[in-house]
Structure 1
Amino acid sequence: MIQIQPRELLLKMAQAAIDAAAPAQCVPENLPAPPLGRTVVIGAGKAAAAMARAVEDHWPWPLSGLVVTRYGHGADCKRIEVIEAAHPVPDEAGQKAAQRILDSVQGLTADDLVLCLISGGGSALLALPAPGLTLADKQQVNRALLRSGASISEMNCVRKHLSAIKGGQLAVACAPARVVTLLISDVPGDDPSVIASGPTIADPTSFADALAIVEKYRIVEPRAVVEHLRRGLNETPKPGDKRLRGNEVRVIATAKGSLEAASRVASEHGVLPIVLGDSIEGEARDVAQVQSVLARLAHEAQPGQKPCVLVSGGETTVTVRGNGRGGRNAEYLLALTCALRGQADTHAIAIDTDGIDGSEDNAGCITAPDTLARAEALGMSADACLTGNDAYSFFDKLEDLVVTGPTRTNVNDFRAILVL
């Protein structure tokens, strides 16, 4: 038996996953050499303010800049201005910040350096509509995409083609200055062009791709968005664009690194870590069903193969049909709880490493073999809560929410199923 309580071990693993992606840990060693000219820092994302603070702490040369982050995710910076805005649905503060960021890189020279700090959440925070579109248009389509079950890659493809700044357009505005982009990845596969919709990265997708996505999910409003995609004017810069030549991209934190850190914690406590993957996508309920089968197989394993913990990352999605509360991690964990039906000696945790599961105040939730029995004693039906997309209420009443507050980083979901 392990010499630590299952709940304590799972929480310790989750914290290790978060800590491995902390900007203070991964930014300093990835800073470029100072330029001959100016250094301008720009950025967007849930980790942007903490990344800016890490730059300030390790950059003794002159700099100026502006970054935008989610409300509540700010940091105390002295030389780089930090603006907070809405996520996941953009607001006017994000629109104004995006315009100011775009303005701040005008008129630079080849001797100047633009240090761009990008992390997950930047798509909603850099809310600068393309000509002919309004913020209200972007808000409406954003809400529709969030409810549709579209993957992050699909959502960001659409966002790029509704924007005046995403999909490499910000890098074009920086030219001829050299752009070095530091990325904390929150997307499966760590594709730089997808992270925060790649504002400084060449875009391999097209207007036709974006139109196919809105048609796939039957999004027909607002009409201005659909017509904008059909016209397909002013395509984003593509790989090989000479205006982006000489720029550099460094992915400095990933889900894989966080899973490795969590796995080391498990090993230190005598638990065998089994990594299922760092880029798992799909409906949260479907992922839970598959992983519940793996958990049952692990439970039936021969002596010597337990205790073990099944670890995974990536980003699931939720097609919302009910009126309840809960993010994708709570939905996943409730579906897992229903599927396991109180399987003995099996505990699990699921969190978003940014500290916010969807739009709620929790990072995620935790479950145990007695979760269903405790819920029934309180008069709750796990199956009914799952049907109503009400996982937050379920775990809240059981006092099994995991609340970390904003972590100021983001490498997406962390899931662990501990089988003793």
Structure 2
Amino acid sequence: MVCSFRRYLWLRSNHQLISKNWQPKIFKMSASVISRELSLKQKCLEIFRTAINSVLPQNIIKNNISMEGNRLLIKNQSFPIHNNVHVAGFGKAVMGMAAAVEQILGDHLVQGVISVPLGIQKVLRLAGKEEMLLRPQTKIQVQEGAQHNLPDDNALKAAKRIHHLAEGLTENDLLLVLISGGGSALLPAPIPPVTLEEKLYLTKQLASKGATIQELNTVRKSLSLLKGGGLARAAYPAQVVSLILSDIIGDNLEFIASGPTLPNLQSKEDSCKILSKYNLVSSMPENVKEVLSQPSTRMHQEEIQDYAHVFNFIVGSNAIALEEAKCKSESLGYITSILSTGVSGDVTTVARLFSLLIRYVCSVLAVHGSQCAQASSLKDEMLQIIGSLQLPDFRLDSCLENALSSGKPLCLLAGGETTVQLRGRGKGGRNQEMALRVAVELHQAKSMTPHDPFAKHEIVFLSGGTDGQDGPTEAAGGFAYTEMVENAFREGLNVEDFLNNNDSFTFFSKFNKGADLIMTGLTSTNVMDVQAIIIQPKET
């Protein structure tokens, strides 16, 4: 999820290709003709691109916000406005969100400040994405910072400007807050007299001692001027409306940019207990001790303790992207199911789950739904892994029953964010490694059984990052299929060697002339990852 100018540089030599090719293709023919014309990989890619398109910054704004006279309509809520809207934003996707908001609000927009990644405006111009840039005579100030996704002085300046804007608002104003992934690093203002360096030092010390992400967030919020509800407090008594693009499993708003418009459920006493747990009380800076010794900040009036002046809307998420992908898949003729939006854990384990799933589906379809011993065994192992990964929302059987009764092919969708254990020094990302590990699992399944378990079906697996950047590479992810490992051996490529070195990008670049890499270019959005599996009978 690193978002920095260094990772954007590759676009300079590819921006013309990307700007022309990354968007979902627009076909003038009917869906049935599309389905016949496209290959299985192309269909899978169209489904993935549709998922991304649904959560592009300009689309999530236009799909959720409109004007009706002097009323701002957001989902099922209406807010009266009259030349009194102020904008604050922070995150990797906020540049495009702000451009769309500016267009919708018109003269109702008074002023704004947004904090965005270093170099983003230049990169968007290079990629030909002018629609994601503000107008020349914009009323919104743009501050770039957080190089390498780390808080820095530029991000601190932006946070202070946002704080100053919020403090100047009255009960007659509306503050529209734009939030996306990466917002925490772009909104780093600590509570004085704590310095940014002191806050970073303390959080690094906690991380080095094994503190959980929840513990780190608790301490960070206690020392933050704007996180943990600080922005909403600063803006009171103005109306605060947040539009949020979620890159967090479960869409827990508390963890998106550390919840600047949500009540802080943790106290400074909680932070002190965490610091004591890791033996950091004696070594923490004096300024930190001073801030943590102060009473926890509370709203001034009892009746607004519940943040009644704040409305938070999730306008983009992995679930939203998968629902749009499902619609696209169904238009292509597939029985489609969203398996889970919370797939997480080690990529090796998750790849094993997806390979078992493919084998299970093929086994059930091959025997027309009868409970053969092989299918039962595969399902038992799947359920064990689902339990270990804690995926309570994982679902499959109803989709499989529909496929059996209708005879239609299947498309299975999932989303989330996995992790990779680094053992080598190669180049790749979690999605490319996922695809390659699924390919190995499918190859081993073929090798271990007397009869090819996939003989009756065509299968394609896709894993891709919606931000278009899978690890430190220009790829979004990769494809897998049952013949991949065998074909790679014929090209002199040993897949296991690449996996042992975490070098999936190098493998995909060498194999099949790079045709199994997914190249979207920078998308300027991020709702984690998407997996798609297409299983359809072979033509006889």
| Structure-2-length-normalised TM-score | 0.67
1:79 to 139, 156, 164: 139
What is the CA distance between 1:210 and its match in structure 2? Answer: 6.8
The aligned counterpart of 2:57 is 23
The aligned counterpart of 2:200 is 138
Say if 1:215 and 1:346 are closer, same or farther in 2 by CA, change over 3 A: farther
309-318 or 179-188, which moves further after superposition? 309-318
What is the CA distance between 1:195 and its match in structure 2? Answer: 1.7
The aligned counterpart of 2:400 is none
Aligned residues of 1:89 and 1:139 also touching (Cα < 8 A): no
Query: Aligned equivalents of 1:17 and 1:300: distance in 2?
Result: 29
Aligned residues of 1:87 and 1:121 also touching (Cα < 8 A): no
Say if 1:231 and 1:37 are closer, same or farther in 2 by CA, change over 3 A: same
What is the CA distance between 1:181 and its match in structure 2? Answer: 0.5
Q: Deviations over 1:146-183 (max 9, x none)?
A: 9x8977x6765564345332221121121222211011
Matched, 1:416 2:451: no
Query: Aligned equivalents of 2:225 and 2:289: distance in 1?
Result: 13
What is the CA distance between 1:378 and its match in structure 2? Answer: 4.9
Whichever residue aligns with residue 372 of structure 1, its letter is: V
What is the CA distance between 1:190 and its match in structure 2? Answer: 1.5
Matched, 1:369 2:416: no
338-347 or 117-126, which moves further after superposition? 338-347
Say if 1:55 and 1:341 are closer, same or farther in 2 by CA, change over 3 A: same
Query: Aligned equivalents of 2:104 and 2:527: distance in 1?
Result: 23
1:261 to 308, 324, 332: 324
Secondary structure at 1:123's aligned position in 2?
coil
Matched, 1:66 2:113: yes
1:102 to 152, 163, 167: 163
Query: Aligned equivalents of 1:39 and 1:334: distance in 2?
Result: 49
Which is higher, the Rg of structure 1 or of structure 2? 2
Say if 1:115 and 1:293 are closer, same or farther in 2 by CA, change over 3 A: same
Secondary structure at 2:149's aligned position in 1?
coil
Say if 1:205 and 1:349 are closer, same or farther in 2 by CA, change over 3 A: farther
Whichever residue aligns with residue 98 of structure 2, its letter is: A
Aligned residues of 1:133 and 1:224 also touching (Cα < 8 A): no
Q: Deviations over 1:66-104 (max 9, x none)?
A: 112234544321232333333533343323322222222
What is the CA distance between 1:196 and its match in structure 2? Answer: 2.0
What is the CA distance between 1:397 and its match in structure 2? Answer: 2.9
Query: Aligned equivalents of 1:263 and 1:360: distance in 2?
Result: 28
> Unaligned 5+ residue runs, structure 1?
none
Structure 1 or 2: larger helix share?
2
Matched, 1:38 2:72: no
Q: Deviations over 1:335-394 (max 9, x none)?
A: 323322276532211122122224433222222333323443454443333333333333
What is the CA distance between 1:63 and its match in structure 2? Answer: 2.1
Query: Aligned equivalents of 1:231 and 1:136: distance in 2?
Result: 12
2:312 to 249, 262, 271: 249
Secondary structure at 1:340's aligned position in 2?
helix
What is the CA distance between 1:36 and its match in structure 2? Answer: 5.4
| Structure-1-length-normalised TM-score | 0.84
The aligned counterpart of 1:314 is 416
Secondary structure at 1:418's aligned position in 2?
strand
> Unaligned 5+ residue runs, structure 2?
1-31, 67-71, 73-78, 122-131, 369-402, 447-453
The aligned counterpart of 1:172 is 233
Query: Aligned equivalents of 1:365 and 1:316: distance in 2?
Result: 15
Secondary structure at 2:522's aligned position in 1?
coil
Say if 1:18 and 1:245 are closer, same or farther in 2 by CA, change over 3 A: same
Secondary structure at 2:184's aligned position in 1?
helix
2:510 to 380, 397, 405: 397
Query: Aligned equivalents of 2:274 and 2:492: distance in 1?
Result: 41
Secondary structure at 2:109's aligned position in 1?
coil
325-334 or 192-201, which moves further after superposition? 325-334
What is the CA distance between 1:286 and its match in structure 2? Answer: 2.1
The aligned counterpart of 2:39 is 5
Matched, 1:190 2:275: no
Q: Deviations over 1:9-36 (max 9, x none)?
A: 1110111101111233332433633545
Aligned residues of 2:61 and 2:315 also touching (Cα < 8 A): yes
What is the CA distance between 1:262 and its match in structure 2? Answer: 0.8
Q: Deviations over 1:267-303 (max 9, x none)?
A: 1222221211112222222222222211111122325
237-246 or 124-133, which moves further after superposition? 237-246
The aligned counterpart of 1:350 is 463
Secondary structure at 2:534's aligned position in 1?
strand
What is the CA distance between 1:233 and its match in structure 2? Answer: 4.7
Secondary structure at 2:364's aligned position in 1?
coil
The aligned counterpart of 2:398 is none
The aligned counterpart of 2:440 is 338
Whichever residue aligns with residue 15 of structure 1, its letter is: R
Aligned residues of 1:46 and 1:354 also touching (Cα < 8 A): no
Query: Aligned equivalents of 1:366 and 1:229: distance in 2?
Result: 52
Matched, 1:279 2:342: yes
Say if 1:261 and 1:110 are closer, same or farther in 2 by CA, change over 3 A: same
Whichever residue aligns with residue 244 of structure 1, its letter is: Y
Aligned residues of 2:203 and 2:220 also touching (Cα < 8 A): no
Query: Aligned equivalents of 1:289 and 1:273: distance in 2?
Result: 21
Higher relative contact order (CA 8 A, sep 6+): 1
Say if 1:62 and 1:310 are closer, same or farther in 2 by CA, change over 3 A: closer
Aligned residues of 2:199 and 2:223 also touching (Cα < 8 A): no
The aligned counterpart of 2:102 is 56
Query: Aligned equivalents of 1:397 and 1:136: distance in 2?
Result: 46
Say if 1:298 and 1:143 are closer, same or farther in 2 by CA, change over 3 A: farther
Aligned residues of 1:13 and 1:262 also touching (Cα < 8 A): yes
Query: Aligned equivalents of 2:205 and 2:521: distance in 1?
Result: 24
Query: Aligned equivalents of 2:155 and 2:474: distance in 1?
Result: 21
Whichever residue aligns with residue 30 of structure 1, its letter is: I
Query: Aligned equivalents of 2:501 and 2:298: distance in 1?
Result: 42
Aligned residues of 1:325 and 1:390 also touching (Cα < 8 A): yes
The aligned counterpart of 2:180 is 119
| Identical columns (%) | 33
Query: Aligned equivalents of 1:377 and 1:197: distance in 2?
Result: 50
C-alpha root-mean-square deviation of aligned residues, in Å?
3.8
Say if 1:266 and 1:92 are closer, same or farther in 2 by CA, change over 3 A: same
